[in-house]
Chains A and B, each alone.
Chain A
């Protein structure tokens, strides 16, 4: 059953009347009949965790918003820029009202003045569609002033980014929305605190998929949601599968489904029968890579189980590589991504990504030495844990973990005598 990708089950659910005919805005109605605190409690009880990557409990996040603050905001993180992620896009393209309803429920729960949906710049068609949706909701009295006669007012707006992965990081997103460079902010204060959010007001930042779950939780109840998934990872999750599988695409499955089920049953197994899987990046470019061993394949896709195999489920952008893929090249690809996307604000990430990229190029060119492999591992270690935002940690992962799991892939490029190896001093 799809909770999120309902466009696959119901024809034209992106039309408001169809959405309503299939239970749309029932959750919102229920929410409006409750106190904001009760809404937060239900979301807490559902166990819903953020789908943007970090998996932070959503209800708890909402409860951080200080009630007494007169002005509060919701920002929807629709920046979807993690390598290999394309789930929020499908939700917004095919089931847009559900996202907006979820955002409005969140807004009501924290008594926000407005919702800003921050879309990555390339999603401008989606932005136009959302704008049209918002307009029809306003006309119906479902958004704007006095929503559904409840006396609660909340505007919904879209905002387009313009090509910067870092704007998916919540504080960079807020800066970008305020018209500043999309560079992360120092925390504390956190977005949920006065001084840390949008226009310095307390703000909830949630991922599209997170919020799209909320109408279901309200209309069907927390227990119905908790019944899906595992103890600590409740509900469905959309897994974005790409790379060397037969049927790449989005798969909405309960959390806790195994990788094997996803990759073989759903995605059809290896793209080329004769080339078995070699490795997987389960959380796009940013999470640690793992070899696709049987143990890994049998691991349930949940926050807790992925930790046991030394990686994260994150945003569940699962990139599959078969045996033909050179992991040095993968490390280079991902490093180039982070080098391109580093905002430049903090030293280790700005300098580290540039430096790593240069040395990997050298290795791939056949000019590297075994020392260079040690060097990049060391540089990556030095980046990890010292940067202002998590991008620096993300950028260290592909180096550290590809070298750890696939040392031979590096060794083949750096014969012991290859390369000049002279450093500047």
Chain B
């Protein structure tokens, strides 16, 4: 329970939390919106813009006794500061009085606005921020009627200055509040923005190479209180008041960022609604008010011209366009003919509703193998067991707490987790990053890594395939680290799969679970396990019975009929063609045809997250729903409706009328979903800080959550004390003499099929490369930039060599989806040799 103090705002007393910021307290408790520009509730106050000036007084106290001196009428004597004070830099204290509506305060607000407008262009009608602009709104409310500045005296500055590929700066509109600079420094930790020059010439610059290129850059456009920062994606795209906001969930990763899809009817899309931009939607327990740039800009695939719009059916060996009334009975027939030898592989981007209908379809036919695609991460079961405790909020980790991140690259895999964990560390949490190679998060873990910030952290580097043993032997090999982790008040472990086989990642998750159990860090809020499962619904796959093991089994013993949904088998798996060609009938449902039509018998169009209702379970086991935002592409169906339709055609009862109804059925059958309904998922409550309300100046243009905060599924350890289990095989590789461990790694920006239509990011996607230990490079006579050939089994890749001291010897990190040829899904062994000198690579 926090201590409360009493403050008086404009004559009325309010109880507010001790130690809180005056602007926050006045807003939260007294419903008094003190205007701000530079202050942002997620960042340290700087008192720069002077918009928040108030009259501030504190009680007069008797020096000797400390008693509050009283007036004759018994009210406390208040001594006001002679000058107005900035509320944003004031911490509340008991008995504090503020006045926000006196002439002096009103004049000061007016004056500050006049000053700001004295150099601000009056181009609101053509400004992207027009309509949701703090400066505009505040000027309407508090501002001068006209400027007394001579128009020709205004400074003319650059209007379209690219800070990077994704963000443009309008230097005339900038009001020097430094929110963007501070966001990059404080929140992201990539201080690639700064002021240049001084006085009225003060300007935002970047001098980094390449420019303003972080995975969170778009957030600056939300918190910019004017239209100075705009995204390449949305610039001049639409006016905010033309947009219709639809709550949704990011389809990209396990974070489950809450987003708002800004929809507008668009000429370029046949007059139909399309996504003009993706905005953050506040959910303090999930993404606060931030989203990654991939989430913000990755929406283009939803309206790609290459989207499948028609069901395709192979007749007489030729794939032809068809329609549902022809396809449905054919599908039913094909499935019936399988005699129960039916299996399914479902991608991790499928909704719970889709998975449930698919499962019922397969099981109804007597099949039992439900594969989760991709079969790379084995951590889901352990997360269900000892995942972070009910009510966990990474935003609450801080001093006294600890975080271990092992065998993953969160910056690239789940950027929002990396953002929030870095901030936890800023608040004092102890961060340990362990991996076979350097990752961005490791920079933050290391003391004094940047800006001489004193941080609590450590890094552990282990050899290829040694993640499991490193964790198991932590107390022996890294005693101090182990002790600090064990004795932390709260401990969160993020265990991934980098450099591991499927069984290896499963073993690592179990080893992490054991560590958590042994040190008493389970079954409690802010303690437990996380796993960066790929895709938006890795946990949903688990809860609905889809497993990576089943996938391996299917790959090893292909069924007669295989249903594949939202899984890009050919793109992902270099060996897929081989095992797929043993299958009699492939029924393939997806957004795009990845070349599968050659092998498949049915290629069926389904709807993306933007076109239908559904729900995902994020990595913290929070079930969250998304809403229909855009109309269907062609004849595409939501996957649940497709599978429900097939079941109907097979005579399994009526098709559910809505996704909500599917959820009802699901929650009645799957115990973890008990009590979860669309109505429950839609529930919201007021969250601190209050963003997205009438005053966009406070939090920026992140939207308030109206679509639902979601419901967390308890971990089993929340109810029952878990016991440690034997750690299975870590699937360790034993590379033959001269061979290396080839570790597929993830890059956030890649050429994955759904991301490719986001052309603005194209320049940021790296050319294919492989990271090689620098000493190995010397031994193998490979220099930086040389073209190397990597061979693993049948597969081979030619990529550029990137030498590094920060990768274990004998390991070669090979990013997925930069080349057209699939990279192995999990770690494997192979060989490497140089095929060309660095010069030859030119500029691929």
User: So, do A and B actually touch in the complex, CB under 8 Å?
Assistant: yes
Interface residue ranges, A against B (CB under 8 Å): 164, 166, 181, 186, 339-348, 350-355, 358-359, 362, 375, 382, 385-388, 422-425
Interface string of B41-75 (1 = CB under 8 A from A): 00001111111010000000000000000000000
**Smallest beta-carbon distance A188→chain B, Å:** 8
Q: A186-B46, A351-B115 are in contact. Are A386 and B108 (CB under 8 A)?
A: yes
Interface residue ranges, B against A (CB under 8 Å): 45-51, 53, 83-84, 86, 89, 108, 111-112, 114-116, 118-119, 122, 146-151, 153-155, 175-176, 195, 197-202
B153→A358 contact, CB < 8 A:
yes
**Smallest beta-carbon distance B155→chain A, Å:** 8
Contacts of A359 in B (CB 8 A): 150, 153
B89→A186 contact, CB < 8 A:
yes
Contacts of B148 in A (CB 8 A): 375, 423
From B84, B111, B155, B199, name the one whose CB has the most chain A CB atoms within 10 angstroms: B199
7 contacts between A and B (CB under 8 A): A344-B176, A346-B47, A347-B50, A350-B176, A385-B83, A385-B84, A423-B148
Contacts of A345 in B (CB 8 A): 46, 48, 176, 202
Q: A186-B46, A347-B50, A348-B50 are in contact. Are A342 and B116 (CB under 8 A)?
A: no
**Smallest beta-carbon distance B196→chain A, Å:** 10
The 4 lowest CB-CB distance pairs between A and B, nearest first, are A424-B151, A344-B202, A354-B200, A425-B146
Q: A186-B45, A352-B115 are in contact. Are A424 and B147 (CB under 8 A)?
A: yes
**Smallest beta-carbon distance B291→chain A, Å:** 29
A423→B202 contact, CB < 8 A:
no
**Smallest beta-carbon distance A243→chain B, Å:** 26
**Smallest beta-carbon distance A201→chain B, Å:** 12
**Smallest beta-carbon distance A54→chain B, Å:** 15
A351→B151 contact, CB < 8 A:
no
Give A127 to B776 CA distance when docked, in angstroms.
49
Give A174 to B129 CA distance when docked, in angstroms.
37
A344→B201 contact, CB < 8 A:
yes
Which residue of A164, A350, A424, A425 is within 8 Å of B200 (Cβ)? A350
CB closest residue in chain A, given B114: A382
15 new A-B contacts, CB < 8 A, other than A186-B47, A375-B148, are A166-B198, A339-B199, A345-B46, A346-B47, A346-B48, A346-B49, A348-B50, A350-B176, A354-B199, A386-B83, A386-B84, A423-B150, A424-B149, A424-B154, A425-B146
Contacts of A186 in B (CB 8 A): 45-47, 86, 89
Contacts of A350 in B (CB 8 A): 115, 176, 199-200, 202
Give A388 to B86 CA distance when docked, in angstroms.
9
Contacts of B150 in A (CB 8 A): 358-359, 362, 422-424
CB closest residue in chain B, given A164: B198
Give A351 to B177 CA distance when docked, in angstroms.
13
CB closest residue in chain A, given B89: A186
Contacts of A181 in B (CB 8 A): 195, 198
Contacts of B195 in A (CB 8 A): 181, 344
A388→B83 contact, CB < 8 A:
no
**Smallest beta-carbon distance B194→chain A, Å:** 8
Which residue of B86, B149, B153, B200 is within 8 Å of A353 (Cβ)? B200
Contacts of B199 in A (CB 8 A): 339-344, 350, 353-354
B47→A388 contact, CB < 8 A:
yes
**Smallest beta-carbon distance A406→chain B, Å:** 23
Which residue of A164, A344, A423 is within 8 Å of B149 (Cβ)? A423
B119→A351 contact, CB < 8 A:
yes
Which residue of B50, B155, B197 is within 8 Å of A387 (Cβ)? B50
B111→A348 contact, CB < 8 A:
yes
Q: A186-B47, A353-B199, A386-B84 are in contact. Are A348 and B112 (CB under 8 A)?
A: yes
**Smallest beta-carbon distance A67→chain B, Å:** 21
Q: A343-B198, A386-B108 are in contact. Are A423 and B146 (CB under 8 A)?
A: yes
From A186, A342, A359, name the one whose CB has the most chain B CB atoms within 10 angstroms: A186
A388→B118 contact, CB < 8 A:
no
Which residue of A166, A347, A354, A386 is within 8 Å of B48 (Cβ)? A347
B45→A423 contact, CB < 8 A:
no
Give A422 to B51 CA distance when docked, in angstroms.
28
Give A186 to B22 CA distance when docked, in angstroms.
15
B111→A386 contact, CB < 8 A:
yes
Contacts of A341 in B (CB 8 A): 199
Give A354 to B153 CA distance when docked, in angstroms.
9
Contacts of B51 in A (CB 8 A): 347
CB closest residue in chain B, given A184: B47
B111→A382 contact, CB < 8 A:
yes
From B46, B50, B86, B175, name the one whose CB has the most chain A CB atoms within 10 angstroms: B50
CB closest residue in chain B, given A423: B148
CB closest residue in chain A, given B37: A347
Q: A386-B111, A388-B47 are in contact. Are A423 and B151 (CB under 8 A)?
A: yes
Contacts of B198 in A (CB 8 A): 164, 166, 181, 342-344
Give A425 to B148 CA distance when docked, in angstroms.
8
CB closest residue in chain A, given B47: A186
A339→B200 contact, CB < 8 A:
yes
A347→B45 contact, CB < 8 A:
no
Give A186 to B48 CA distance when docked, in angstroms.
9
**Smallest beta-carbon distance A320→chain B, Å:** 28
Which residue of A351, A358, A386 is within 8 Å of B116 (Cβ)? A351
Give A422 to B146 CA distance when docked, in angstroms.
12
Contacts of B202 in A (CB 8 A): 344-345, 350
B50→A386 contact, CB < 8 A:
yes
**Smallest beta-carbon distance A47→chain B, Å:** 23
Contacts of B115 in A (CB 8 A): 347-348, 350-352, 355, 382
CB closest residue in chain A, given B144: A425
B201→A425 contact, CB < 8 A:
no
Which residue of B47, B89, B108, B200 is within 8 Å of A351 (Cβ)? B200
Give A181 to B119 CA distance when docked, in angstroms.
23
CB closest residue in chain A, given B119: A351
Which residue of A342, A346, A358, A423 is within 8 Å of B50 (Cβ)? A346
Give A362 to B119 CA distance when docked, in angstroms.
17
Q: A339-B200, A350-B176 are in contact. Are A388 and B50 (CB under 8 A)?
A: yes
B153→A355 contact, CB < 8 A:
yes
CB closest residue in chain B, given A342: B199
**Smallest beta-carbon distance A402→chain B, Å:** 20
Which residue of B49, B84, B151 is within 8 Å of A347 (Cβ)? B49
Contacts of A353 in B (CB 8 A): 199-200
Contacts of A388 in B (CB 8 A): 47-48, 50
Give A387 to B200 CA distance when docked, in angstroms.
15
**Smallest beta-carbon distance A58→chain B, Å:** 23
B151→A355 contact, CB < 8 A:
no
**Smallest beta-carbon distance B670→chain A, Å:** 52
Contacts of A347 in B (CB 8 A): 48-51, 112, 115-116, 175-176
CB closest residue in chain B, given A345: B48
Give A407 to B153 CA distance when docked, in angstroms.
24
Give A424 to B195 CA distance when docked, in angstroms.
29
Contacts of A348 in B (CB 8 A): 50, 111-112, 115
Give A358 to B195 CA distance when docked, in angstroms.
23
Give A374 to B195 CA distance when docked, in angstroms.
33
Contacts of A352 in B (CB 8 A): 115
Contacts of B175 in A (CB 8 A): 347
**Smallest beta-carbon distance A175→chain B, Å:** 12
Give A227 to B370 CA distance when docked, in angstroms.
96
Give A383 to B241 CA distance when docked, in angstroms.
36
CB closest residue in chain B, given A367: B150
CB closest residue in chain A, given B51: A347
Give A358 to B147 CA distance when docked, in angstroms.
15
**Smallest beta-carbon distance A414→chain B, Å:** 14
Give A425 to B139 CA distance when docked, in angstroms.
15
Contacts of A340 in B (CB 8 A): 199
CB closest residue in chain B, given A179: B452
Contacts of B155 in A (CB 8 A): 354
**Smallest beta-carbon distance B714→chain A, Å:** 41
Give A166 to B147 CA distance when docked, in angstroms.
29
CB closest residue in chain B, given A166: B198
Contacts of B154 in A (CB 8 A): 424
**Smallest beta-carbon distance A378→chain B, Å:** 8
